Structure 1
Amino acid sequence: MQGLPCRWAAGPFPFPLPNLDMIAEAVWFLLIGGLLTFIALARGPIGRLPLTGAMIYLVVGVFIGPAFAGLVDVDLTRDPGLVRMLAEVGLVISLFAIGMHLRVPLRDRLWMLPLRLGGPAMLVTIALMTAFVMLVEGRPLGTALFLAATLAPTDPVLANELRVKEAGDDEPVRFALSGEGGLNDGAAYPFAMLGLALVGAPQFGTGDGLTFAGSVGWGVGSALAIGWVLAVVFVKTVFYLRTRYGEAIGLDGFLALGLMSASYGAALIVHAYAFVAVFAAGVALRHEELRATGDTNPAEVLENVERGARVDAAKDPERAHAYLAEAMMGFTLEMERIAELSLMLLIGCVVSAHWREMLDAKAVLPALFLFFVARPLSVYTAMAGSQADGGQKRIIGWMGIRGVGAFYYAVLGIQEAGDTLRALLPAVLDTIVLSVLVHGSTAGYALQRYFRRYREPKEQEQRA
């Protein structure tokens, strides 16, 4: 039997030897397989230690990058568009998943917490960061504004420890941080575009003050409408086909991907803020389930459904909404975990290629100012007069994880403005690495301390 000439090298052995390309391919399969298996098997111990999956993925990415093993060399100069698209896909999946977790009526006051964080708090952060970068680092307004808009959004992909645990979880801190992560990636977009315009890369809706204000209003309003309308039409259509004709059953993952992709694409066509549209679609889909199911948690609605009776549950008018929402959310969460692994490996490879520039004090200072000054001040300012108390404000002010969202905007800046904004990449990478390590290692302890403080009085009241 002859060996394959393109993939196997001849030799004195009774079997063909793999060449270097084949070895590299095999190493990649072994690496990914081993990493996935390790995370799945060690999930318990990892959860009990000051570790997160993102930390592990980041370290592995640095190791396989050009500084060490050299298995991957991500060249943002040659093809930033592909890297940006990968980050974009991960954000879309995560934003949709977050929206589906927020199972609280829209008229509930709890929604004011993420709205304060995703709006006023982000604006204060951008203002403080812009001033700091201009005054301390001497960068021009456009560059400073773009860096501020890049670092302002909290990350929806990496905040698993801080996110609501299940649909219907209304714990204020988790709900606030989850909703903030869903809102501010889209809310930062107009300021990133304004920064690009100021550095010489004109963008839609940044011509003058009135045009900019109009583009922001259109971008947010039309995105909310597109995401919401598409989700409602989607749910009603699937519900009708399943309960009336017994059709459109199965492939719930395809349905999830279809809805989030359609929302994102439709928003892009009309120059709406597509990230907002995807988040709105997730919230709307969950809201339709909430209207149909009421106060009963969807997990309770489906708890007696046997594995072989899932088709019947999908066609049952009383359980069809809960079944659709939970099936789609389960698929989306699995996709989100894969996206987190892929993107953090990618970011680690980029860090491996730029670690020398990241050691410059000029690259580290923005991250330190963000974590210890801008984030706490913006949270306390935006939360003034809210229902959050001092302890809740402190933990929210500390837990502002930065990650894939910041990376997306950094690569977008390189794609649109080239060398003008490439110098900002080390500062963005420093912020991501420090956030993953510092916030990731302290999240578990901070939350445990917070919950002990708030649960013990309630338990004492119940015993009394």
Structure 2
Amino acid sequence: MSGEPFFSFNSYHVLLSVIGIVVILARWLPRLISTREPASAPLMILFGAGAALLIPGFPDMPDPRESPLPWELVSEMTVIIALFGAGMRIDSLRPWRKWTPTARMLCIAMPLTILAVALVGSSLVGLTAAGAILLGAVLAPTDPVLAADVQVGPPQEGAEHPVRFTLTTEAGLNDGLAFPFVYLGLIVAVQGLNPGEWGLEWLLRDVVYRIVVGVAMGWAGAWALGQILFVIPKDALLANTGSGVVALAGVFLCYGSTELVEGYGFIAVAIMGLKLRRIENRHHFHRRLHDFSESIEHALTALLLVALGTVLPALFLYLSWSHIAVAILLLVVIRPLSGWIALIGSNMAHRDRAVVSVYGVRGIGSIYYLCYAGSHMEFVNEAQLWSLVGLVILLSTILHGFTVGWAMDQLQEPEKWSKKSIPD
């Protein structure tokens, strides 16, 4: 004992200290120059990368290309909570016509984005057909975790601007709707680009069955949880205790049971949030549950972003100019153009269409999908895919994070709310 140094740098303690410093600085530093909500996501990634490169004794994080499971599990948990929270935030579902832009973004913009990214990935990066499809599926959905600044506020706040409503509902549903295309990439990797052999099975199983089951399980799970929280027993309602743990347990139960019957759990938890919010709509428990789940979501997100930053230097070893070109094309051409085309005829004002088209943040969902695919199969282009996805997440958080405050401020001014923003 006497020969051991008094001070020792345990790598685990170094890691905890760095995470604490990075998160605090990322949330605090922007406040020195702006009163807006801090654009902390890109700073967490960049500070994490700096820590990995500059701090002695900093431990190596698991490489997602070699050890995807821990990344998959943490990102999955984060997305589950975020999707449920997105559903909970919607105060009013009606009039039904305000869902028109959401439907257009899901049914037109997302498939267009997947197709365009796949074609660009194949032609510029030289990805295989399976890798190109997977890249499109991974990068198509907008992120419910990092897109809080463009979404509606907490439950019972009201004033849901059509742009915020569209971006919130799109982010809540398109993570699950991207899954059929992830499966498509896996199928093509095994059976080749021959839809005559697997096309019908993919359509019936991975598109129709899994989506329908996800919706049904989400609705049923919300109804059952609503009975437990707000109805039975009448003289001792569980919702009056304010305990969000039980509700969160119900979300995990809904997700897990949906996956057990081969449905899309991401769709189920989003629908569960939407449906549960309709039960005792004005009860204070909804706001408490939202705040509770949001705190967990923010904590998991911070850990993932710092961790992503620490592995970016290794991921970027495979980065090329073609990757940079694809990332820029996605963020400034493909997503905005796909969204603009999808919203033609929606009667949204041009400014509102532009905001919806541009602000589709990429992030935690992309990490999950790529880890999921990597844990199920080895792809020829896996190193390239990780380099490109890491770059897209970094650029997306920078471009969107530092401009979204101004864009949303314009929409929050009542005199600028156009009647055309509400679809007929």
Match of 2:135 among 147, 165, 180: 147
Matches within 5 A, 1:21-170: 21=10, 24-38=11-25, 44-45=31-32, 48=35, 51-65=38-52, 69=56, 70-167=58-155, 168-170=158-160
Q: Is residue 193–residue 206 contact of structure 1 (8 Å, CA) maintained in 2?
A: no
| 1:398 to 1:244, Cα distance in 2 relative to 1, 3 A | same
| 1:39 to 1:376, Cα distance in 2 relative to 1, 3 A | closer
Distance 2:17 2:359 in 1: 35
Distance 1:345 1:46 in 2: 23
Q: Is residue 67–residue 353 contact of structure 1 (8 Å, CA) maintained in 2?
A: no
Distance 2:225 2:197 in 1: 36
Query: For residue 406 of structure 1, what is the aligned residue in structure 2?
Result: 366
| 1:134 to 1:67, Cα distance in 2 relative to 1, 3 A | farther
SS where residue 92 of structure 2 aligns?
coil
Match of 2:163 among 147, 157, 173: 173
Q: Which has the higher contact order (CA 8 A, sep 6+)?
A: 2
Report how far residue 272 of structure 1 moved.
0.8
SS where residue 74 of structure 1 aligns?
coil
The number of equivalent residue pairs is 411
Q: Deviations over 1:121-156 (max 9, x none)?
A: 101111111222223333222111110111101111
Identity %, equivalent residues: 27
Gaps of 5+ in 1: 1-8, 294-321, 459-464
Distance 1:55 1:155 in 2: 14
Report how far residue 68 of structure 1 moved.
5.6
1:130 partner amino acid: A
174-183 or 134-143, larger mean C-alpha shift: 134-143
Match of 1:347 among 308, 329, 334: 308
2:360 partner amino acid: G
1:259 partner amino acid: G
Query: For residue 217 of structure 1, what is the aligned residue in structure 2?
Result: 208
Report how far residue 449 of structure 1 moved.
3.6
Distance 2:270 2:64 in 1: 28
Query: For residue 232 of structure 1, what is the aligned residue in structure 2?
Result: 223
390-399 or 25-34, larger mean C-alpha shift: 25-34
Match of 1:381 among 338, 341, 361: 341
Report how far residue 441 of structure 1 moved.
1.0
| 1:248 to 1:102, Cα distance in 2 relative to 1, 3 A | closer
Q: Is residue 201–residue 417 contact of structure 1 (8 Å, CA) maintained in 2?
A: no
Q: Is residue 66–residue 353 contact of structure 1 (8 Å, CA) maintained in 2?
A: no
SS where residue 222 of structure 1 aligns?
helix
1:19 aligns with 2:8: yes
User: TM (normalized to structure 2)?
Assistant: 0.89
Distance 1:82 1:368 in 2: 29
Distance 2:416 2:352 in 1: 16
Query: For residue 305 of structure 1, what is the aligned residue in structure 2?
Result: none
68-77 or 369-378, larger mean C-alpha shift: 68-77
Report how far residue 44 of structure 1 moved.
4.8
Report how far residue 185 of structure 1 moved.
0.8
Distance 1:394 1:212 in 2: 34
Distance 1:236 1:46 in 2: 48
